[in-house]
Amino acid sequence: MNESISVGFLGCGVVGGAAARIVADHAQALEERCGARIEIGRIAVRSLAKEREVDLPPGSFTTDPWEVVADPSIQIVVEAIGGIEPALDLILEAIKNGKHVVTANKELISTMGRDVVEAAEAAGVDVLFEASVGGGIPILRPMKESLAGDRIRRVMGIVNGTTNYILTRMSERGEGFAEALATAEALGYTELDPSADIEGYDAAQKTAILASIAFNALVVAGDVHREGIARVAASDIAAAHELGYEVKLLSVAEIEDGAISARVHPAMIPKTHPLASVRDVFNAVFVEGEESGELMFFGRGAGGGPTGSAVVGDVAEIARHIVSGGTSVGWTHRERAKITPHDGIKVRYYVVLSVLDQPGVLSTVAGVFARHGVSIASVRQEGSGDEASLTLITHVGTEGQHGLTLRELRELDVVRAINSSVRVVGTEEL
Ligand SMILES: NC(=O)c1ccc[n+]([C@@H]2O[C@H](COP(=O)([O-])OP(=O)(O)OC[C@H]3O[C@@H](n4cnc5c(N)ncnc54)[C@H](OP(=O)(O)O)[C@@H]3O)[C@@H](O)[C@H]2O)c1
């Protein structure tokens, strides 16, 4: 008879509840795949009164999470509480007690990941966190394992479903940001405080984890340049459509000459790029490998079923390790990565200027771009009088060059206002 492996849960909400249900519902298939029976040990929750997704004897639940991490019969702990404390201390205690850990906690991994992975390595246990990025989309394990023979150059993703839903409403229904946000809130797609999504914090945490795994480096959330979507205007989206682009909140992580740049910001991406067609709450990660070329991973980035399935996938991997011996760790490089300063990141920009309707304006504006070493790929002059505007798309320049250009343009007498400045991504080959 196969051995049995006991899993303890910290939290039984959206993620923990779904993962526990999947473990119970798929017991037979999991046993066949892992060579061991996966059993639910104890589950820690805040309230014993709530109804749970999984049907277990009442004694299985406790309000004391420390009981779970101390329980000698439990071999794997699933952390699904969220946040840093008490989750971090609980995870470290579980590791100290020789337990393997699975977590979906991007906030914790993107800030304290090194402490957790180092503790796990010292204790000879596994820490896996597939569900922390892209919910149900397998992305970390494919990069870590399937692409171990490749060298990943760039990872670009749409990793926040809420903002992608808002941008989809703006793009397809012509709604403004506030209106689209209100719909997302009404549908329950936002947190109580939507700023973690809207301001890009959630995506930045996921970008740090993606970059760490893609480049086998240590990138933390604070290394990721972050801009949210609150300033994306309906007019930016309309202009993007005219030019054959969509506007997306993109996570981008690149490596060049050993230095990593990681950022989250709204960007125009050509409609022909696979990421442009990722709609609603869906997520996708586009990976560019030196050997494998372009790969895309697409699916549901949140929700109980998808995230729970990713958590149980990690549990199953650990169960196989327990059966066969050996461990795997999240990433193997412990030193902080060399990060490209934001000013050095190479990028193209789309810029709309409201200008005075008089001769010589175009050459004055072009002169500013030239002075800062930014060449212009296309320019369109429209309207007259108070409506006169210039729409420019640049070639690749650095963020620093673009920043100086925009600052000088703002001070020109002939420029009334910079109506829009949005990065253009995915056209490097053009
Ligand atoms: N929701 C998603 O779609 C999703 C997707 C990817 C990653 N994640 C990550 O998964 C983690 C969990 O998120 P979630 O959405 O499942 O959260 P949730 O629904 O709020 O569940 C949190 C669970 O933790 C329990 N809990 C909270 N504090 C506790 C404490 N001190 N001791 C014991 N139990 C405690 C809660 O108990 P009660 O039930 O009694 O309140 C609840 O069962 C977070 O790190 C989140 O970022 C979530």
State the catalytic residues.
206
Other CB atoms closer than 10 Å to residue 200's CB: what's the count?
A: 26
Residue identifier of the C-alpha nearest atom 41 of ligand 1: 46
Residue whose pair of structure tokens reads 């397998």 in the numeric block: 138
Residue identifier of the C-alpha nearest atom 18 of ligand 1: 13
Torsions phi, psi for 253 (to 5 deg): -130, 125
**Ligand 1 geometric centre to CA of 129 (Å):** 15
Tokens at residue 258, please? 């050993």
Determine the Cα–Cα distance for residues 114 and 120; give it in Å rounded to an integer: 10
Residues lining ligand 1, judged by CB closer than 6 Å? 11-16, 44-47, 50, 65, 80-82, 86, 104-106, 131, 135, 302-303, 307
pLDDT digits (tens, 9 = 90+) for 190-220: 888 899 999 999 999 999 999 999 999 999 9
CB 300 within 8 A of CB 306: yes
**Ligand 1 geometric centre to CA of 13 (Å):** 5
Probe target for ligand 1 pocket from 9, 10, 12, 15, with the most ligand atoms within 8 Å of CB: 15
Residue whose pair of structure tokens reads 């009334």 in the numeric block: 416
Determine the Cα–Cα distance for residues 75 and 42; give it in Å rounded to an integer: 11
Q: Which amino acid is at 201?
A: Y
Separation of first and last alpha carbons in the chain: 60
Residue identifier of the C-alpha nearest atom 5 of ligand 1: 302
In the sheet that 3-10 helps form, which strands lie side by side, from edge to edge? 61-62, 36-44, 3-10, 76-79, 100-103, 127-128
Residue identifier of the C-alpha nearest atom 21 of ligand 1: 13
CB 353 within 8 A of CB 389: yes
Q: Give 103's strand partners.
A: 79
pLDDT by residue, tens only, the chain of 430 residues: 679 999 999 999 999 999 999 999 999 999 999 999 999 999 999 999 999 999 998 789 999 999 999 999 999 999 999 999 999 999 999 999 999 999 999 999 999 999 999 999 999 999 999 999 999 999 999 999 999 999 999 999 999 999 999 999 999 999 999 999 999 999 999 888 899 999 999 999 999 999 999 999 999 999 999 999 999 999 999 999 998 999 999 999 999 999 999 999 999 999 999 999 999 999 999 999 999 999 999 999 999 999 999 999 999 999 999 999 877 766 677 778 899 999 999 999 999 999 999 999 999 999 999 999 999 999 999 999 888 999 999 999 999 999 999 999 999 999 999 999 999 998 764 3
Residue identifier of the C-alpha nearest atom 47 of ligand 1: 105
Q: What distance lies between CA 272 and its chain's CA centroid?
A: 22
Determine the Cα–Cα distance for residues 33 and 26; give it in Å rounded to an integer: 11
**Ligand 1 geometric centre to CA of 88 (Å):** 14
Determine the Cα–Cα distance for residues 369 and 359; give it in Å rounded to an integer: 18
Probe target for ligand 1 pocket from 81, 93, 165, 283, with the most ligand atoms within 8 Å of CB: 81
Determine the Cα–Cα distance for residues 402 and 180; give it in Å rounded to an integer: 30
